[in-house]
Amino acid sequence: MSNASVEIKNTIGLLCKILNVVYSSNLKPEHFRLAKFNKTEDNVASTFMTALTKIVNKQTPKELQEHMHTLNYKRKQFYNVNLENCTESRELLLALAYLVLTMLQADLLQKLDSVAECPNVSQPVLEEPELSMSNLKGQDLKNYKLWLSGKIISNKNMKSEYDEIIKKLQNKFNKLLNIKAHSSLTLYEILALKNAEIKDQYIQDTEYIVSIMHVYTEWAKKEKIFWKWMVGYSIGGSEEKLLVNK
């Protein structure tokens, strides 16, 4: 196998890793190679169909075609293919390439944003009033209402104080660690810095994110190799050339 063949296989492998993580597909570089020449073995067409429906979150081939139309996919051949029993793996590859161009980055960011969520933090126990307003009359009822109003004001003041403390903590950590993500740290990050147990959980959760971002960074460096491979054979027609012009 030539160096160029190894390079394109590795590049497609990176793309497969990202697609499989973001959309739970089961794509392999071999599927891309077969589809490039419109082959039918190794369940290539059905694998691409499954990936396409997962990417656009649709159930049926008809819904897939309708949604691709809303995404301004203009390749006429795609809409003339019977996707119910589709063996046109090349058409499905071109449609997938369009989705990679238009959707992958945004969907990846959304996926990563939902991965590492802040752990459960113990909530303060709210005090139950000892008295029932239904049992109070006259001056006692007025006094109780005044007491409740005072409690509300006190709680608001306490909330403001906590908000101010959190801001000061965020500013302190930003200065110490030179972290400027959205101008502040997340609650999860602050807890991880202050608590060893949460720190270990934070590292475990974010290790997944770091590994995926590493793959995406490598893909971003090499994706031009993929698009060059996509136009490295006769595809004909201006629509397809626009489709893979990266």
Question: How does DSSP assign 5-53, residue by residue?
Answer: HHHHHHHHHHHHHHHHHHH-----HHHHHHHHTT---TTHHHHHHHHHH
CA pair distance 148, 143, nearest whole angstrom: 9
Q: For residues 78 and 180, state if they share a domain.
A: no
Q: With beta carbons less than 8 A apart as the criterion, state whether 92 and 52 touch.
A: yes
Q: Are residues 78 and 172 in the same domain?
A: no
pLDDT given for residue 197 in this prediction: 72
Same domain, 13 and 110: yes
Most confidently modeled range among 10-14, 114-118, 166-170, 239-243: 10-14
Q: Give the mean model confidence (pLDDT) for residues 136-156.
A: 80
Report whether 136 contacts 222 (CB < 8 A). Answer: no
Farthest-apart Cα atoms in the chain, separation: 94
Q: Does residue 179 share a domain with residue 59?
A: no
Residue 137 structural domain: 133-185
Say yes or no: 45 and 80 in one domain.
yes
pLDDT of residue 30: 94
Please indicate, yes or no, whether residues 112 and 27 belong to a single structural domain of this protein.
Answer: yes
Cβ-proximal residues to 79 (8 Å cutoff; 6+ apart), any chain: 65, 69
Question: What is the per-residue burial (b if ≥16 Cβ within 10 Å, else e) of 195-209?
Answer: eeebeeebeebbeee
Q: Is 127 contained in some domain?
A: no
Q: Specify if 123 maps to a domain.
A: no
Q: What percent of the chain has pLDDT over 90?
A: 28
76/68 Cα distance (integer angstroms): 11
Q: Find out whether 187 and 118 touch, Cβ atoms under 8 Å.
A: yes
Identify whether 163 is part of a domain: yes
Band the pLDDT of 128: cuts 50, 70, 90: low
Place 126 in a pLDDT band, splitting at 50, 70 and 90: low
Whether 155 and 69 map to the same domain: the answer is no
Q: Give tens-digit pLDDT for 174-228.
A: 565 554 445 556 666 666 666 777 777 777 777 777 788 888 889 999 999 999 9
